[in-house]
Amino acid sequence: MKRLIVLLLTLVLVLAACGGGGDSASNAEDGEFKEQTWKIGFNTVEGSVRDVAAKKFKETVEAETDGAVTVEIYPNEELGSAQEMIESVQVGALDMQIAGANMMANTIPEYATLSLPFLVKDFDEAHAVLDSEIGDKLKAMGEEQGIKVLSDVELGFAQITNNVHPINKPEDLEGLKMRSPNDKSLIETFKALGSSVSTMPFTEVYLALSQGVVDGQFNPLDAIYETKFHEVQDHLALLNLTYYYSYFIMNQGAFDGLDPELQKIVQKAANEARDASYEFTANKDEEMLKQMEDSFVEITEPDVAPFQEAVKPVYTKMEDVIDPELIKEVETFLEEYRSEQ
């Protein structure tokens, strides 16, 4: 029954797109656009980097269409869990989402590539990969699943918090109950470090930490600060464990149904949303860390090398999920990039 409903919904949306395409194109030729409302959903709170990106997208689209297109923003999983929203975009039931690449890996496994621990060292390296032919190839993979990837949205590097003790070496993570998103590369990373792993929606993490259901979690400083994890965690370890980013996604059929002028506006707005996220992470990490300093009992900056050694087996395990050639391609690209710097 659920599959039948999805198929019927998809058929209705396709017919609607076919019926409305002519009017949209005609209006664009006259410098006007058909009045419509788009919804964007994501799983983090208002004020987060995703929210900043969504607001920039809204600002650009509404300005470029003289208000004909209205963009509504729904943070904090108001439209469903992160995975549910991805599926809704796929069938056209949700216009757009800023979806974590690691969550999208459940649909497109290759999107877990940059989640591999310590693969990229800094923002410049991450941007170089995403702006390369590799990044273009990753974005194009969404089309096969009915997803138009408009741009990436930067979230930051994941840092580790917990309530048990400071993290200075890999052994300090042994036996800790850690929350992870449902991303195999991240789950395997913490298993390799000796932790037990619990997966749960992002919106449930604060309560789980405060009640001791899990000992710790890992996220960029933006997520830790905006979701107030520092209020219920004692220890922060700055490790740059993995690069977190999202994709700004839209239903492929819905995008294809837009007239060319509106497609250009959507792409321009998504690119500006990406740039806004880059600016946010570049300027806010230090500020947010300073804001949280007094909340943590201890903040450590461990030597990364022992952690890198401990998680090497994760790369081999992930070859069952991600094409080993893709992993090698990224590693080779980064080696060449580093040699040129």
What confidence tens digit (pLDDT) does each residue in 218-245 have? 999 999 999 999 999 999 999 999 999 9
pLDDT beyond 90 at 28: no
| H or E stretch at 292 | helix 260-292
- Written as six digits, the tokens of 92 are 């056209």
**Which residues are paired to 177 by β-bridges?**
196
User: What pLDDT, on a 0 to 100 scale, did the predictor assign at position 29?
Assistant: 54
Helix (H, G, I), strand (E, B) or coil at 112: helix
User: What pLDDT, on a 0 to 100 scale, did the predictor assign at position 1?
Assistant: 43
pLDDT 10s digits, 50-61: 999 999 999 999
**Are 158 and 221 contacting, i.e. CB atoms less than 8 angstroms apart?**
no
User: What pLDDT, on a 0 to 100 scale, did the predictor assign at position 32?
Assistant: 84
- The DSSP-derived string for 181-203 is -S-HHHHHHHHHTT-EEEE--GG
pLDDT beyond 60 at 121: yes
Q: Which residues contact 40 (CB under 8 A, 6 or more apart)?
A: 54, 57, 58, 71, 72, 73, 74, 95, 96, 97, 98
pLDDT 10s digits, 285-305: 899 999 999 999 999 999 999
Question: Tokens 């030729």 belong to which residue?
Answer: 29
Measured over the CA atoms of residue 161, residue 166, residue 169 and residue 173, the dihedral's sign is: negative
Q: Give the Cα separation of 161 and 164 in Å (integer).
A: 9
- For the chain, state the CA radius of gyration: 21
Question: Tokens 């700004």 belong to which residue?
Answer: 248
pLDDT beyond 60 at 6: no
Burial code of 50-69, b = ≥16 C-beta within 10 A, e = fewer? bbbbbbbbbebbeebbeeeb
- Written as six digits, the tokens of 183 are 């991303």
Confidence of residue 208 (pLDDT cuts 50, 70, 90): very high
Half-sphere exposure of 86 (CA within 13 A, CB side): 19
Rounded average pLDDT over 18-27: 40
| H or E stretch at 91 | helix 82-91
Helix (H, G, I), strand (E, B) or coil at 21: helix
Angle at the Cα of 216 from the Cα atoms of 211 and 222, rounded to 5 degrees = 105
pTM beyond 0.85:
yes
Hey, where are the domains in the chain?
2-16+29-156+245-283, 159-242+287-340
User: What pLDDT, on a 0 to 100 scale, did the predictor assign at position 31?
Assistant: 63
Rounded average pLDDT over 146-164: 98
Hey, do 2-16+29-156+245-283 and 159-242+287-340 end up sharing a CATH topology, with the first three levels equal? yes
Nearest to 114 by CA among 164, 150, 152: 152
pLDDT beyond 80 at 27: no
The per-residue pLDDT of the chain, averaged, comes to 92
Q: Give the Cα separation of 100 and 112 in Å (integer).
A: 10
Total Cβ atoms within 10 A of residue 162: 24
pLDDT 10s digits, 89-102: 999 999 999 999 99
Q: What percent of the chain has pLDDT over 90?
A: 89
| H or E stretch at 248 | strand 243-251
The amino acid present at 50, given as its one-letter code, is R
**Which residues are paired to 199 by β-bridges?**
180
| Terminal-to-terminal C-alpha distance of the chain | 56
Give the right CATH number for 159-242+287-340 from 3.40.190.170, 3.30.420.40, 3.90.1010.10, 3.40.250.10.
3.40.190.170
Q: Give the Cα separation of 178 and 100 in Å (integer).
A: 19
pLDDT beyond 80 at 327: yes
Q: What architecture is the 2-16+29-156+245-283 domain classified under in CATH?
A: 3-Layer(aba) Sandwich (3.40)
**Are 101 and 119 contacting, i.e. CB atoms less than 8 angstroms apart?**
no
- Written as six digits, the tokens of 238 are 């700055």
- Written as six digits, the tokens of 254 are 């819905």
pLDDT beyond 60 at 19: no
User: What pLDDT, on a 0 to 100 scale, did the predictor assign at position 275?
Assistant: 98
Give 26 or 81, the one with higher predicted confidence: 81
Confidence of residue 18 (pLDDT cuts 50, 70, 90): very low
